[in-house]
Amino acid sequence: MLRKFSRVVSINQTQNTINKQLVSKLQLAYFAVDPQMNVCACSSNLTDYGFPQLECGEPIDDQIDFMIGLDAETELDLPVMSSPSGIPISINMMPSDDQLTVLISNASVATEQRQMLQQAANENELLVEKQKKLMFDLETASIELEKKNTELEEASRLQTSFLSGVSHEFRTPLTSIIGYTNLVQKGIEQMSRQIASRIAKQDSFSYLNAVQRSSKHLLSLVENLLDHGKLDSDEIFIHPKPTDLAELFDDVELLLAPLSQTKDIELNVAFASSEGNYVILDDSRLRQCLINLVGNAIKFTDVGGVELLAHLDNEELRIQVKDTGMGISADNLEKIRLPFYQVADTGKVGTGLGLTITERIIDLMGGELAIESEVGSGTTVRFSMPAPQAPQEEHFSNLAAESNDSLKVLLAEDDSDIADLVTMMLMERGVNVTRVANGALAVEALHNDKFDLVLMDIHMPIMTGYEAIAELNKANIKTPVVVMSASGIEADQKKAVDLGCAAYLVKPVSVDEIIAVAKTVMIDD
Amino acid sequence: MTDSPQIQEIKARYKASFPEKANMLSGFMRVVSTGGELTILREELHKLAGSSGMYSYDDISSLCRKAMQSIDNDQLENLHNELSQLINLVEQS
Amino acid sequence: MKKKKICMVGDFSVGKTSLTQKFVNNVFSDKYLTTVGVKIDTVEVMDTKLVVWDVAGRDSLSPINASYLVGAAGVILVADGTRKSTVEGLHEIWDTVAGRIGEVPCVVALNKADLDDWNVDEGKINDFKNRGWSVFESSAKDGIAVEALFNALVEKL
């Protein structure tokens, strides 16, 4: 309608007279500007819409804001604009050769309708969007919930199977203990009734051996469980000390051979070294790992054999445990590292903790466990760990092994609580102990007297252990020194080794450990 | 193997020193809360870690080590907790 | 005094009117009232008389009427940071702007930063920045970054 009307106006505008009656009837207002954007004509009713009365010859953009930025050549239809008075207006700009005519008309009716329609449509669309978002959130939440549920089910399944596994594991050795003790009791009854026969005695011995085996197995189960508790609370400590690797692997073979014999499979343990057998590492933790891994391999192998290969080279101990057992599927390879996880349908029992603990211990000892496996053809487990050479080779004193009487030890320790205990315990083993409370007194004692061994604390007043050792080195006193310190820090251990100490023991230290170390570090000359 | 009477006596003596040790540690609680100097506390913890370990109070020993670590890493909040746990533990042992 | 026309553009209900009213008259209302056509306000920023054309948002009934943009020296692209589609829609809206009046100076307001369900990814913000646009996380309600975004545009004009 506006279009039609504007054409009428454009025909008439050249005559420079506009039908004022028509203009006022439709509340039509107008103004015109020249090509320089100065006002050249205007209607008087512009003020009805809140616009100022225009001054001819003056720039339009000083007088009407919406003209700012516009030029005289562009044709424009602006269907709805709020006028300064608040009345919605429609604007029509029509350029011609010598001027731009701007028509302003009342758009109240159309705008009111549009406003209602648009408000309703947009509110509706916002609601739909909100609904979609809620649906999405709901879906995400339900997926999350389902996942949590599955995880919980899995955890509870693992725990149940763990409990049944554990109770089974405990029942087997317990039954055997009860059974064999019964037999021993009967044997003893027989012995008391008749004259003790050799056969009854021998039977009793083998029964007692069986009881012992079962008890040891139970003990290791309990230890595994305890270790797992410690795993959770990060409380497993590694205590490296001088260790004879050849002996350690012999031990492992002796311990596990009976297990492989009962299954009628081969067990082959081989240790090779290019630098001697004597290294510093935590032998009991390494033993624990090997028993776990080789024990597992035997457990899951029914035909063929298990091979434990160890190689010491360049202060690194590399270990491989290979079996010809049932193998592990790729899917299960991931899961067996989880605590309590056990592959279903293997017909094997256990706590499902061994591998988790082993992996953690190997990690703490500076190694990494790698498992390769193929279903049906077997599994290979590999790891390596640093194994620095012990400062002195083993010189085992047979004399000292049988009796500690020959041992004369100087104990330098400022903490009287520790000194009292160590002194008493060593004395009870027949060791001759002299006590001093600082490094200076220790150096003095060694100048005046001969000792087989010095047990040296590090943190001491007046002169520290390190300073005392340096003094001894200077004075060329060669008595072996074993450092005892509460510090497990590697740098401290390295310092001790650099100073030529025979061994480094981390407190708490047991007396057995002290005696064992004493024996290994004493030079048999 | 059971301990000889002499060893039992030494162990009892050590145990009898616990109230005194707990008292000493409590004195450091104030130092920790006010952000004071911790060198001496660290020395005492080091000593206690060593001796309690030798006497098979493993939990006391490991807590001492944790607290020492907290001192080394400047984790005063942890230290505060560990020290109060330690005092409890020493009192109850 | 310099006189410049700028336009607020973006999807419906992102806060174009709220930002304009907060900046020009320091008022805010939580109630949604759709803009029909265009509302014009003027304000002085530094040495410039700014005529702000608050253009009706794009909605399901109609696209942006580009006629309103003619003569603008710059635009503020406004999106609702809690409605992803309005942020993603800015590229298309920019095409409308550039198609009609060329690549005029532009700043982006990601509005409603006071709300919890904010949903704008860093990648999108980087997209905008790579085009040379300043990006503001604004709140007409709390007055956050409102002045800053108008000032930033005026500096570019």
Domains and CATH numbers, chain C: 2-156 (3.40.50.300)
Q: Which of A65, A70, A118 sits opposite C40 (nearest CB)?
A: A65
**Is A344's pLDDT higher than 80?**
no
ipTM of predicted complex: 0.92
Judged by 3 or more CB pairs under 8 A, whether C touches A is yes
Question: Which amino acid, one-letter code, is at A499?
Answer: L
pLDDT at A348: 60
Who wins on pLDDT, A230 or C73?
A: C73
* C2: β partners: C48
Is the pTM above the cut of 0.90? Answer: no
pLDDT at A524: 40
pLDDT at A199: 55
What average pLDDT does the segment A428-441 reach? Answer: 85
**Is A417's pLDDT higher than 90?**
no
Check CB contact of A425 with chain B, cutoff 8 Å.
Answer: yes
**Is A400's pLDDT higher than 50?**
no
For residues A120 and C13, give the distance between their C-alpha atoms in angstroms, rounded to a whole number: 12
For residues A318 and C140, give the distance between their C-alpha atoms in angstroms, rounded to a whole number: 67
pLDDT at A166: 64
What average pLDDT does the segment A28-44 reach? Answer: 92
Token reading at A384: 């390596």
pLDDT at C55: 96
For residues A271 and A319, give the distance between their C-alpha atoms in angstroms, rounded to a whole number: 9
> How many Cβ atoms are within 10 Å of A473's Cβ, its own excluded?
13
Q: What is the DSSP string of A111-159?
A: HHHHHHHHHHHHHHHHHHHHHHHHHHHHHHHHHHHHHHHHHHHHHHHHH
**Is A522's pLDDT higher than 80?**
no
For C74-116, the pLDDT digits (tens) are: 999 999 999 999 999 999 999 999 999 999 999 999 999 999 8
pLDDT band at A405 (very low <50, low <70, confident <90, very high): low
pLDDT band at A161 (very low <50, low <70, confident <90, very high): low
Contact across the interface for A123 and C3, Cβ inside 8 Å: no
Residue A293: Cβ-neighbour burial (10 angstroms; 0-12, 13-18, 19+): buried
CA gyration radius, chain A: 48
Residue of chain C with shortest Cα separation from A130: C83
pLDDT at A395: 40
Smallest CA–CA distance, residue B34 to chain A, in Å, is 27
pLDDT at A399: 34
A-chain CB neighbours of C71 within 8 Å are: 68-71
Who wins on pLDDT, A497 or C103?
A: C103
pLDDT at C154: 94
- Beta-sheet pairing, A100-106 with C2-10: unpaired
Residues of chain C with pLDDT under 70: none
Q: Which of A234, A420, A423 to mutate to test the interface with B (most CBs of B within 10 A)?
A: A420
Residue A135: Cβ-neighbour burial (10 angstroms; 0-12, 13-18, 19+): exposed
B-chain CB neighbours of A418 within 8 Å are: 50-51, 54
pLDDT band at A394 (very low <50, low <70, confident <90, very high): very low
Contact across the interface for B46 and A508, Cβ inside 8 Å: no
pLDDT band at A277 (very low <50, low <70, confident <90, very high): confident
Token reading at B71: 């001192």
pLDDT-wise least confident of A176-185, A283-292, A312-321: A176-185
**Is A398's pLDDT higher than 50?**
no
For residues A332 and A324, give the distance between their C-alpha atoms in angstroms, rounded to a whole number: 17
For B41-92, the pLDDT digits (tens) are: 888 888 888 888 888 888 898 899 899 989 888 888 889 899 999 999 898 8
A-chain CB neighbours of C116 within 8 Å are: none
Pairs across A and C, CB distance < 8 A: 81
Residue of chain A with shortest Cα separation from C68: A78
Do C77 and C55 form a contact (C-beta atoms < 8 A)? no
Q: Which of A237, A424, A459 sits opposite B10 (nearest CB)?
A: A424
3-state SS string over A166-221? Answer: HHHHHHHHHHHHHHHHHHHHHHHHHHHHCCCCHHHHHHHHHHHHHHHHHHHHHHHH
A-chain CB neighbours of B53 within 8 Å are: 486, 507-508
A-chain CB neighbours of C42 within 8 Å are: 65
pLDDT-wise least confident of A146-160, A173-187, A364-378, C136-150: A173-187
**Is A261's pLDDT higher than 50?**
yes
Whose CA is closest to B44, among B90, B92, B93?
A: B90
Judged by 3 or more CB pairs under 8 A, whether C touches B is no
Whose CA is closest to A216, among A173, A277, A155, A259?
A: A173
For B16-26, the pLDDT digits (tens) are: 888 888 888 88
pLDDT at A44: 86
For residues A104 and A235, give the distance between their C-alpha atoms in angstroms, rounded to a whole number: 86
Contact across the interface for C36 and A71, Cβ inside 8 Å: no
What average pLDDT does chain A have? 79
**Is A14's pLDDT higher than 50?**
no
For residues A520 and A243, give the distance between their C-alpha atoms in angstroms, rounded to a whole number: 9
Smallest CA–CA distance, residue A75 to chain C, in Å, is 9
The secondary element (H helix, E strand) that includes residue A232 is helix A198-232
B-chain CB neighbours of A237 within 8 Å are: 62
Whose CA is closest to A239, among A279, A299, A283, A301?
A: A283
Q: Give the largest CA-CA distance in chain B.
A: 47
